[in-house]
């Protein structure tokens, strides 16, 4: 089993979903970042991930990384939420973003904003101001969730 699959098993064991794993550099530090979300809903919105859940998950994942280091050299493990406004780059992330507002930039330079209704194969179906639009995943250059205050 791959390291990512092992991490995903730990994440699911605490009732969360793995959103992304990334390696980022901040100054001299290398960070192995594990981003998780909740699929539970509160007041028709996804429940936020608590600090206690992140700490618990860090304690579960850390020994695994001691045995199977994800990187050579020094790094820091960071477990957290990707945030309310986050990049959406994979079909799986679009599936996790159903019901949320997403802004897209397409290869044609067209910009679309709307609520993700569903994902079918490689098509993302979006409600953009009452109009149902089908966005072909390969045409997306950049996408991110957004929150209207």
Q: Are strands 111-120 and 101-106 parallel, antiparallel or unpaired?
A: antiparallel
| pLDDT tens string 113-123 | 999 999 999 99
Where are the CATH 3.30.300.70 domain residues in the chain?
Answer: 3-80
Question: According to the model, what pLDDT value does residue 34 have?
Answer: 97
Q: Indicate the pLDDT class of residue 45, thresholds 50, 70 and 90.
A: confident
Contact 118, 96 (CB under 8 A): no
Question: According to the model, what pLDDT value does residue 78 have?
Answer: 96
Where are the CATH 2.30.30.100 domain residues in the chain?
Answer: 91-145
3-state secondary structure 61-119: HHHHHHHCCCCCCCCEEEEECCCCCCECCCHHHHHHCCCCEEEEEECCCCEEEEEEEEE
pLDDT at 43 over 80: no
Alpha-carbon dihedral 69, 96, 138, 141, rounded to 10 degrees: -80
Token pair, residue 12, equals 């699911």
**CATH code, 3-80:** 3.30.300.70
Mean pLDDT of the chain: 93
| pLDDT tens string 91-112 | 999 999 999 999 999 999 999 9
Q: Which CATH class for the 91-145 domain?
A: mainly beta
Question: According to the model, what pLDDT value does residue 1 have?
Answer: 61
| pLDDT tens string 47-69 | 889 999 999 999 999 999 999 98
Q: Give the least confident one: 56-60, 82-86, 91-95, 139-143.
A: 82-86
Give mean pLDDT, residues 17-28: 93
What predicted TM-score, i.e. pTM, was given to this entire model? 0.85
């Amino acid at each position: 089993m791959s390291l990512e699959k092992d991490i995903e098993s730990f994440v699911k064991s605490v009732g969360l979903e793995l959103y992304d794993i990334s390696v980022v550099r901040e100054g001299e530090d290398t960070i192995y970042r594990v981003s998780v979300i909740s699929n539970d809903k509160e007041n028709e919105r996804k429940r936020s991930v608590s600090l206690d859940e992140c700490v618990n998950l860090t304690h579960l994942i850390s020994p695994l990384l001691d045995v199977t280091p994800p990187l050579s050299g020094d790094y820091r493990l960071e477990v957290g939420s990707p945030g309310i406004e986050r990049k959406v780059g994979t079909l799986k992330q679009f599936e996790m973003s159903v019901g949320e507002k997403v802004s897209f930039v397409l290869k044609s330079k067209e910009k679309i904003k709307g609520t993700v209704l569903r994902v079918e194969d490689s098509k993302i179906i979006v409600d953009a101001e009452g109009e149902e639009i089908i966005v072909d995943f390969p045409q997306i250059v950049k996408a991110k969730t957004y929150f209207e205050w």
